[in-house]
Chain A
């Protein structure tokens, strides 16, 4: 309770401020639409229910989200759920690709000295580079050679989430102590056994935090990769068409949906971690 209560209070304040801020933000628009003898209370009320407000109220966004989530069949392009599922599918496909590639590369770096010396500096440097900038080009080029649909977006999503997973795994695979490795040597353990019994279990406690960073990044990658293809489907497309036509409710509901997917992704990683902790008898 001492942990939840402050968070709830802050949330309540944020929502109250949001409602209140809609009044000054939408005032001039409400004034333009109202007739001449409208009182200021009428205007304040009107600011809360505009069709294309500058700042929609939380209630409007919630209504719009419910309407577009359950109001249309899932395969309809008007359904928010439809777009959310597409983005989630692209992001999770990319995430799985980067998980496999990142772990494989980390295993290589830890075991092969040449790979360590040549690739590790580049992995570290890549954190300072805005890799997302290549997204439009990759999508357009892949589109040119006939690769459209989910795959280009999944590749961008995977490309973004690859680096935290690879660096986290390298750290994790190296986290076992020399004394422990020496002990296994004295047991005459093969490198494979050392990997399976010591390095890999130790690395998992680094893999999960890395996945918690990587999963939201995959989502960002998928959303941004949806922008350059003329906004066909996905939350990125909802953002872009909303921005073209001034549909603020659509933008806000897509944005909140993306935030919800990010929370869901982190919760899934947390859940997997909790399962692993239980399987290991209470510690990671």
Chain B
């Protein structure tokens, strides 16, 4: 009864506050509005869980997730090292790099371009994570098989995006390069690769999320007793949901952080792009 009252008052005052905040157009308010909404959601979650005595195995309150996070920091760090540092980052670098190189290699032959790019975009729409059991069979239970899944998942989006980006340059710019007497290599390095960069960064950002998903899901198919995907699946089965949520918080933080870093890098590399003016 009292919980219902508290929740009702929170929802009403919270929405009133959000309506007022959303009216203002200044930068501070634009950032404050979603933050306040997030805090309101956390508060409602906490109040509802505690007030209605929601069983821990159904939905632990945020405070318990925080406690689980703090008490399990060494374990979370080990999982982070295994999954992110060993599988995600190398796999993402290799897959994206290989995709970019393949796109550049294809660029020389229109016939190959027209043959490979449609297949590439088809493959990037497919459920590639399913390849995980095969990779586990080929590369063993440890991080190597997860990195292999990440490589395969990140290769095709980069191939397709970079392939599309490389043909973005207009005839005007290409003509200008020719009047400078620039050969294929110079045109590629000075004109076409830089103008493909928005596409490349698009793929890099997309791949950052895909890489995390690939490594985590690949761990569902067999792993040594460490890793974020391993922890999520086993602790979920043991109903230790605090730890599961803590791992999800780590995964979300890694995802948003890498997205933010890539956006910063993108700004620095493609400062000339109209969208930044």
Please give the number of chain A residues whose Cβ is less than 8 angstroms from any Cβ of chain B in the complex. 60
Cα A114 to Cα B21 with chains together (Å): 8
Report whether A128 and B256 are in contact in the complex, using a CB–CB cutoff of 8 Å: yes
Tell me the nearest residue of chain A to B123, going by C-beta. Answer: A259
Report whether A220 and B127 are in contact in the complex, using a CB–CB cutoff of 8 Å: yes
Report whether B233 and A136 are in contact in the complex, using a CB–CB cutoff of 8 Å: yes
Tell me the nearest residue of chain B to A263, going by C-beta. Answer: B122
Measured CB to CB, the closest approach of chain A to B248, in angstroms, equals: 6
B241 an interface residue at 8 Å Cβ cutoff? yes
Report whether B258 and A128 are in contact in the complex, using a CB–CB cutoff of 8 Å: yes
**B259 contact from A2, A128, A136, A248, Cβ within 8 A:** A128
Report whether B220 and A228 are in contact in the complex, using a CB–CB cutoff of 8 Å: yes
List CB contacts (< 8 Å) of A1-56 with chain B.
2-3, 6-11, 14, 54
Report whether A228 and B217 are in contact in the complex, using a CB–CB cutoff of 8 Å: no
Q: Which of B114, B205, B256 has the most CB of A within 10 A?
A: B114
Specify which chain A residues have a CB less than 8 angstroms from the CB of B252 in the assembled complex.
Answer: 129-130
Report whether A223 and B256 are in contact in the complex, using a CB–CB cutoff of 8 Å: no
Q: Which of A118, A227, A228 has the most CB of B within 10 A?
A: A118
**A266-B125 in contact given A129-B255, A133-B229 (Cβ < 8 Å):** yes
Report whether A6 and B114 are in contact in the complex, using a CB–CB cutoff of 8 Å: yes
Report whether A255 and B251 are in contact in the complex, using a CB–CB cutoff of 8 Å: no
Cα A129 to Cα B258 with chains together (Å): 10
A243 an interface residue at 8 Å Cβ cutoff? yes
B129 an interface residue at 8 Å Cβ cutoff? yes
Cα A246 to Cα B134 with chains together (Å): 9
B59 an interface residue at 8 Å Cβ cutoff? yes
Report whether B137 and A129 are in contact in the complex, using a CB–CB cutoff of 8 Å: no
Tell me the nearest residue of chain A to B263, going by C-beta. Answer: A128
Which of these binds chain A: B4-12, B33-41, B187-195, B264-272? Answer: B33-41
Report whether A216 and B34 are in contact in the complex, using a CB–CB cutoff of 8 Å: no
A155 an interface residue at 8 Å Cβ cutoff? no
Cα A178 to Cα B132 with chains together (Å): 48
* 15 extra interface residue pairs, beta carbon distance < 8 Å, beyond A133-B251, A216-B127, A224-B129: A6-B113, A7-B115, A118-B18, A118-B37, A129-B209, A130-B213, A132-B217, A133-B228, A136-B232, A137-B232, A141-B241, A228-B220, A243-B221, A243-B222, A251-B134
Interface positions of B (Cβ within 8 A of A) = 15, 18-19, 21-23, 30, 33-34, 36-38, 57-59, 111-116, 118-119, 122, 125-127, 129-134, 136-138, 205, 208-209, 212-213, 216-217, 220-222, 228-229, 232-233, 236-237, 239, 241, 244-245, 247-248, 251-252, 255-256, 258-259
Shortest 5 CB-CB contacts between residues of A and residues of B: A6-B115, A243-B133, A128-B259, A10-B115, A117-B22
